[in-house]
């Protein structure tokens, strides 16, 4: 009964699983971009490099300090987040009164510098990262084989995305963030330290990229350009979901991952471009994105 | 309790000004909007800033609050100089601002809007008292902030700064664009707030409304205070005031 259009279920579900995994990364990364863009009005082109940084910090923690994967899940995002806080304080802060374009150029330049430094030190061939024992092996679900490492990425990503959504949409802290996104001057005039909020928000968005990097370490090759390729797709996801929309970036992230997976089953030649085709279609119909608010 | 705390403040007792503005100048980019505003407000007073459109009334409130990029002069609150403090410190001294455009957040519910401003001083108004003053808000707590009517949004904008414990309120044209019955309700509210010991600066175009709530009126023209008229002498000065306001 699973013989859909002559495609074996193993292949179909295998590709859907791959799609969900890609979607997990799209979701976390575009969520971080959305949070940053919402409050800072900056398109954070450094995001891909910060994702790469998360993976490298994970690798370094294991190889230099013997810190295992599970601790890295906590330490690496915090470390990457701190580099974000420093960047915001040193550079990005100076651009808020200027056009968007300056923030884009700055963060793009920072991405090139970061990637360049890592290429210089580590080369581009990629470093291996041994998955922890708990993540090796897998389960046979009958219709497909589900490796633990992949199931873990999907679950961890979904939990982090939903927790972020919950904090932003349902808590007092999130209310400050939403209010400051709309009118930072007024929130400051209520006595709230908006500049500090902006710094921490950037740090948090960057930490999300770092977290995605940790998740990537055991399943993808760790190399300096791993973020460059991914981030282009993630920007398309953000455009489709709508810039600055929290729920939009999560739903479109996972959804587009699945669509990409399905395309790989039914029309493999189109899988590399399907997201960009969807982006073009969405821009034609809803220029603000599926979940975007037109200002 | 909060009034007691204020009463023990020697400056409040002595009838010296609670807020004293001297030589206040402000700019929007290149344009010089305030050219030396001087006025003061005593504890418990309701004072209005009257003047034509573009005279600098709204800018005066913003300059006091510290939300303008460039200002000079002196703003003293309870004897403390606020000129170099960013807005968040001005707020924490106990001055709350209700902007002309009301500033209701569309991505927040009515309740979130109401609860947003943090407490800056002890003794803010309780929610029960706020709902007594603004019964409409209680029924709309879960609505989106900007789904309220204009009058309800204005009430929400005033209500949320009463919770914070700030005792000095800067209200920028709270009656603008509202129906007469709502204006009346806001007038009653301001009278009640005065009774409870709030000190209020009210920016108004409508001096008929202003005369029902205020103790004194400052007339602002071209970025300067050009006259002060106590409310009980308003009738005697009505011709002069008409000339100032061009009505």
- Residue A290 has a pLDDT of 87
Considering only CA atoms, which of A201, A193, A182, A168 is closest in space to residue B120?
A: A193
Contact B107 A182 (CB under 8 A): yes
Three-state SS for B75? Answer: strand
CATH code of the domain covering residue B134:
3.40.50.300
C-alpha distance from A58 to closest chain B C-alpha (Å): 37
- Residue A13 has a pLDDT of 85
pLDDT digits (tens, 9 = 90+) for A92-111: 999 988 888 899 999 999 99
- Residue B4 has a pLDDT of 42
Domain contains A141? no
Sole residue written with tokens 């034509």: B52
Altogether, the residues listed in chain B come to a count of: 247
Domain contains A3? no
- Residue A294 has a pLDDT of 57
Domain contains A140? no
Domain contains A197? yes
Counted domains in chain A: 1
Q: Which chain A positions have a beta carbon within 8 Å of B115's beta carbon?
A: 172, 175
**Which A residues 20-59 touch B at CB under 8 Å?**
none
DSSP letter at A4?
Answer: B
Domain residue limits at B55: 2-245
C-alpha distance from B230 to closest chain A C-alpha (Å): 30
Domain residue limits at A257: 9-126+150-285
pLDDT digits (tens, 9 = 90+) for B174-215: 999 899 999 999 999 999 999 999 999 999 988 888 899 999
**CB A13, CB A143: distance < 8 Å:** yes
Counted domains in chain B: 1
pLDDT digits (tens, 9 = 90+) for B133-176: 999 899 999 999 889 999 999 999 999 999 999 999 999 999 99
Residue-wise burial string across A257-277, b where 16 or more C-beta atoms lie within 10 A, e elsewhere: bbbbbbbbbeeeeebeebbee
Domain contains A52? yes
The torsion defined by the Cα of A203, A204, A205 and A206, in degrees rounded to 10, comes to 50
Q: What is the mean pLDDT of residues A79-83?
A: 97
CATH code of the domain covering residue A118:
1.10.3470
**Which A residues 168-207 touch B at CB under 8 Å?**
172, 175-176, 178-179, 181-183, 185-194
pLDDT at B247 over 70: no
Contact A188 B67 (CB under 8 A): yes
Considering only CA atoms, which of A43, A45, A88 is closest in space to residue A199?
A: A88
- Residue A4 has a pLDDT of 59
Domain contains A133? no
Q: What is the mean pLDDT of residues A137-165?
A: 89
Domain contains A83? yes
- Beta-strand pair B95-98/B70-77: unpaired
pLDDT digits (tens, 9 = 90+) for B90-131: 999 999 999 999 999 999 999 999 999 999 999 899 999 999
- Residue B9 has a pLDDT of 44
pLDDT at A32 over 70: yes
The ipTM estimated for the assembled molecules is: 0.89
pTM: 0.88
């Amino acid at each position: 009964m699973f013989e859909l259009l002559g495609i074996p279920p193993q292949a179909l579900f295998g590709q859907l699983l791959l799609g969900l995994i890609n979607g997990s990364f799209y979701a976390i990364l575009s969520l971080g971009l959305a949070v940053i863009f919402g409050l800072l009005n900056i398109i954070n082109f450094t995001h891909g490099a910060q994702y790469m940084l998360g993976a490298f910090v994970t690798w370094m923690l294991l190889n230099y300090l013997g810190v295992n994967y599970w601790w890295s899940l906590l330490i690496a995002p915090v470390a990457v987040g701190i580099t974000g806080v420093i960047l915001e304080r040193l550079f990005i802060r100076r651009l808020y009164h200027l056009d968007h374009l300056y923030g884009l150029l700055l963060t793009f330049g920072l991405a090139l510098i970061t990637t360049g430094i890592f290429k210089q030190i580590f080369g581009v061939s990629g470093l291996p990262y041994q998955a922890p024992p708990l993540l090796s092996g897998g389960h046979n679900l009958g219709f497909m084989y589900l490796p633990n490492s992949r199931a873990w990425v999907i679950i961890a990503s979904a939990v982090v995305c939903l927790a972020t959504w919950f904090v932003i949409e349902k808590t007092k802290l999130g209310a400050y963030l939403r209010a400051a996104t709309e009118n930072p001057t007024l929130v400051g005039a209520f006595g709230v330290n908006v500049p500090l909020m902006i710094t921490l928000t950037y740090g948090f968005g960057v930490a999300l990229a770092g977290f995605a990097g940790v998740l990537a370490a055991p399943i993808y090759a760790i190399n300096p350009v791993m973020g460059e390729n991914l981030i282009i797709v993630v920007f398309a996801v953000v455009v489709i979901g709508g810039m600055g929309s929290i729920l939009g970036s999560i739903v479109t992230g996972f959804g587009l991952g699945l669509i990409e997976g399905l395309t790989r089953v039914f029309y493999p030649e189109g899988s590399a471009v399907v997201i960009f085709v969807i982006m073009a279609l969405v821009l034609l119909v809803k220029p603000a994105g599926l979940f975007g608010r037109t200002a | 309790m909060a009034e007691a705390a204020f009463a023990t403040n020697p400056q409040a007792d002595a009838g010296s000004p609670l807020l004293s503005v001297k030589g206040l100048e402000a700019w929007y980019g290149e344009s010089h909007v305030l050219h030396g505003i001087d006025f003061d407000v005593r504890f418990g007073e309701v004072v209005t800033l009257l003047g034509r459109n573009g005279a600098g009334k709204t800018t005066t409130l913003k300059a006091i609050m510290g939300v303008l990029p460039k200002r000079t002069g002196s703003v003293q609150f309870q004897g403390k100089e606020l000129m170099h403090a960013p807005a968040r410190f001005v707020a924490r001294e106990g001055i709350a601002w209700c902007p002309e455009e009301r500033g209701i957040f569309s991505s927040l519910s009515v309740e979130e809007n109401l609860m947003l401003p943090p407490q800056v001083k002890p003794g803010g108004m309780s929610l029960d008292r706020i709902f007594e003053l603004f019964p409409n808000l209680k029924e709309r707590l879960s609505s989106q902030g900007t789904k309220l009517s204009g009058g309800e949004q204005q009430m929400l904008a005033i209500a949320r700064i009463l919770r914070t414990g700030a005792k000095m309120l800067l209200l920028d044209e709270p009656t603008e664009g509202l129906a007469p019955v709502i204006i009346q309700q806001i007038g009653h509210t301001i009278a009640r707030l005065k009774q409870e010991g709030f000190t209020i600066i009210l920016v108004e175009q409508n001096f008929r409304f202003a005369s029902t709530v205020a103790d004194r009126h400052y007339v602002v023209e071209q970025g300067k205070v050009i006259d002060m008229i106590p409310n009980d002498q308003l009738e005697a000065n009505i011709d002069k005031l008409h000339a100032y306001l061009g009505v």
